[in-house]
Amino acid sequence: MTSTEIRPRPGPAWLRPAVAVLGLLYLALGIAGFLTPETAAVGHETSRAVWIFSVTPLLNVVHTAVGVLGLLAATRRAGSLIYCWVLFVGFAGMTAYGILATAFVNPEDPININWADNWLHGLTAVAGLVLGIVAARTASRAAAARAGGKA
């Protein structure tokens, strides 16, 4: 590759702000969970919540980590695209676990997931999938257009 060639950039320009918004959402939820006084307790208890979302130390760490990673991924287009796919896979798994955990309530459940969390995680997985697919298709179309213009 010579210095005059332009490297293709994966992902459209709107992807980075979308990933930053998702990262901020989860970072705010994770930090708010740590500020809740009842956070240190473990087990299934519906009264421990931030707004309608359940609160446990493990879930707060996950939400905070997802938020920080989202903000870091938003600094680069390729990172944003990868983050979308990680969101899809990770939150699809969390949704599957959450559905089983809420269907079979276990008093020793360390994560304390409720139905609001299941909806949040499921919608996040869908958002990651849709953003990832649309961004990847946009990037491949742009690369094809650049390749067609060089010929």
pLDDT digits (tens, 9 = 90+) for 12-70: 889 999 999 999 999 999 999 888 876 555 555 656 778 888 888 889 999 999 999 99
Mean pLDDT, the chain, integer:
85
pLDDT band at residue 82 under the 50/70/90 scheme: very high
Average pLDDT over residues 75-94: 95
| pLDDT exceeds 90 at position 87 | yes
Mean pLDDT within 4-13: 63
Within 8 A by CB and 6+ apart from 5, the residues are: none
Burial (Cβ within 10 Å: 0-12, 13-18, ≥19) of residue 26: buried
What was the pLDDT predicted at 9?
59
85, 73 Cβ separation under 8 angstroms: no
The pLDDT of residue 126 is above 60: yes
The pLDDT assigned to 5 comes to 56
Helical pair 15-35 and 115-150, crossing angle rounded to 10 deg: 160
Position 89 scores a pLDDT of: 97
